[in-house]
């Protein structure tokens, strides 16, 4: 089981050397990818011109642009709520950037109460993510929101 409190403390420590969003998101994606089991992708999409643009990540190549409301990431952006998908093949309009992905969790990231990015994590296993992951990753994102400079 992932220790999300430890992840948040590690993120805070990483932010001491730089609060700039590029290195902090890069290190945050590496931290998640190395700390959570059974992942094949962990990273960020940034809101640019009303759509999502690929940001720092760990894993295989990824979709570069995702429209608002499209796929799991675009839905999290549009609805401004975490999307916990136990089986992506049952999610209407799922975008398959990596055919090996079977479950996904996406958490919106805010600045001034607006969604400015999303944290996207994929797993090759069905039912990989649960409510503990939702709560832990939402807490991790709150920490990120408090330390990052956009």
User: Using one digit for the tens of pLDDT, what is the confidence trace for 5-38?
Assistant: 999 999 999 999 999 999 999 999 999 999 999 9
Token readout for 35 is: 């700390």
| Runs of H (alpha helix) within 36-130 | 71-79
The mean pLDDT of 26-52, rounded to a whole number, is 98
Domain ranges of the chain: 4-147
CATH topology of domain 4-147: Beta-Lactamase (3.30.450)
Q: What is the pTM of this model?
A: 0.96
* Other beta carbons within 10 Å of 84: 19
For residue 72, give the nearest of 62, 85, 63 by alpha carbon: 85
């Amino acid at each position: 089981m992932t220790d999300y409190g430890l992840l948040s403390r590690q993120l805070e420590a990483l932010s001491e050397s730089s609060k700039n969003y590029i290195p902090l998101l890069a290190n945050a994606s590496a931290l998640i990818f190395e700390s959570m089991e059974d992942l094949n992708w962990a990273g960020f999409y940034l809101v640019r011109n009303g759509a999502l643009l690929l940001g720092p990540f760990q894993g295989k190549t990824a979709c570069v642009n995702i429209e608002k409301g499209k796929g799991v990431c675009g839905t999290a952006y549009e609805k401004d709520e975490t999307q916990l998908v136990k089986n992506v093949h049952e999610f209407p309009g799922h975008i398959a950037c990596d055919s090996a992905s079977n479950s996904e969790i996406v958490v919106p990231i805010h600045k001034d109460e607006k969604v400015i990015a999303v944290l996207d994590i994929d797993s090759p296993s069905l039912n990989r993510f649960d409510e503990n992951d939702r709560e832990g990753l939402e807490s991790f994102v709150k920490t990120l929101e408090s330390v990052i400079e956009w």
